[in-house]
Amino acid sequence: MTEIVLGVGASHSTLMNTHWEETIHKDRAGRFRDALYAAREELAAARPDTVILVGSNHFRGFWLDLIPSFTIGVGECLASGESGTPKGPQPVDEPLARHIAGELVDGGRFDVAFSARLQIDHGQSHAIQYLLDGLGVEIVPLVVNVFAPPLPTLDRCERLGRAIREAVLAFPGDRRVAVIGSGGLSHRLPWPDWRAPDGDDEEFMVGAWLNGRDNWQDYDARRRQIIRAAEAAINTDFDNEFLTLLEGGKAARITEYTTERLEEVAGNGAQELRTWLLMAALLDHVPGRRLAYESIPEWLTGMAVAVLDPTTT
């Protein structure tokens, strides 16, 4: 019998790897890092065979020449390795991945894209680095478009999570499956709406997203300068409201936000909450437990870790 044994939501930031020494609020950063390690221990205790790893794309694996709303990796998975995150091939549970894709499409529920050679970036490899290190598990990578509008609605993401849950539980093999949602919480990146760039920096970013498939490293130095020059825009009230909903098993209420309203309240980076929402739906919205929440302006982001354990309900 296949069962879903644990869910983890975790923020990510490559600045954790590249600018730890420059981080001013090291007490907050340390508490967040320790919470990642604590979540890893809970994952280890749950003994998953496979982790469905839901993350975002930061224009290193997907480009403006082709942006699906949802993409499942069903074959090779290659991590880009930027900013000290893992690089190279990652182990994929191909039978489960292909089962999920087939169930979604053949069942008429979701016409998801799939990739037999998927490239992921730190939107997922940050979680591989800090949450899966040493666990020896395979992954089913799921990439959600959160930065290239039009974006899938929050409601659509929640419904996809429920549909994947049904597919996983119908898998004829014997799997213990955990789920990770990587991203968020509130933050604002200096990234334009690609349809209407304004100024040299925004024109540069859109050009990088369109033309960087084979040479993304050539754009990375200026791109990082633009990001490092940005001012933090963290909404701690929103973040705590969302985490409270998650703790109460009510994360689906975030679907009341439109894409535009979510960006207005919590920044364009908060669109990554789609990954947490998918994770929570896969866990059937069991009540969660917050391990950490820290506002870290040097990383531009409200950083959180939470665990959803179906055995405690």
3-189+230-312 folds as Protocatechuate 4,5-dioxygenase; Chain B (3.40.830)
Supply the pLDDT for residue 14.
87
Supply the pLDDT for residue 190.
85
The percent of residues in the chain predicted with pLDDT above 90, rounded, is 81
Supply the pLDDT for residue 224.
82
Residue carrying structure tokens 């754009």: 219
pTM listed for this prediction: 0.96
Query: Where in the chain are the domains?
Result: 3-189+230-312
Give the chain's mean pLDDT.
94
pLDDT, block means (10 residues), the chain with 313 residues: 96 90 93 98 98 94 94 96 91 98 92 96 95 97 96 98 97 94 93 91 90 85 83 93 98 97 96 98 98 95 97 82
Instruction: Measure the CA–CA gap between 146 and 152, rounded to whole angstroms.
Output: 8
Supply the pLDDT for residue 166.
97
